[in-house]
Amino acid sequence: MHLYEVLRRPLITEKNTMLQAQGKYVFEVAEEANKHQIKQAVEKAFKVKVVLVNVMTVPGKTKRVGRRMVLTPSHKKAIVTLKSGDKIELFESV
């Protein structure tokens, strides 16, 4: 898997914004990506030093569409902890 295919998009929520004060950033990543690939992709894309990567799979939710119940797709997200002093400027403008 190519490094640019690992990171899908940054996840910007109220809870994730509070994590930024601790130097943690949250990304949606590819289902096949592992911790080493995520670490390399963040370091290369944003030129920062990654200390820790936590990965979790978020299951899909059941939604009602008319009379039917459908399942939204599940996705994988990663919480990336950076070395103290490093920042990702993409998140700072939000």
pLDDT attached to residue 22:
93
CATH for 3-85, among 3.30.70.330, 3.40.50.300, 3.40.50.720, 3.90.800.10?
3.30.70.330
pLDDT for the residue 93: 65
Binned average pLDDT, 10 residues per bin, the chain of 94 residues: 90 93 95 96 95 97 96 97 90 66
Q: Give the model's pLDDT for residue 90.
A: 75
Q: What is the pLDDT of residue 94?
A: 62
pLDDT score at 3: 84
DSSP string, 24-88: EEEEEE-TT--HHHHHHHHHHHH---EEEEEEEEEPP-EEEETTEEEEPPPEEEEEEEEPTT---
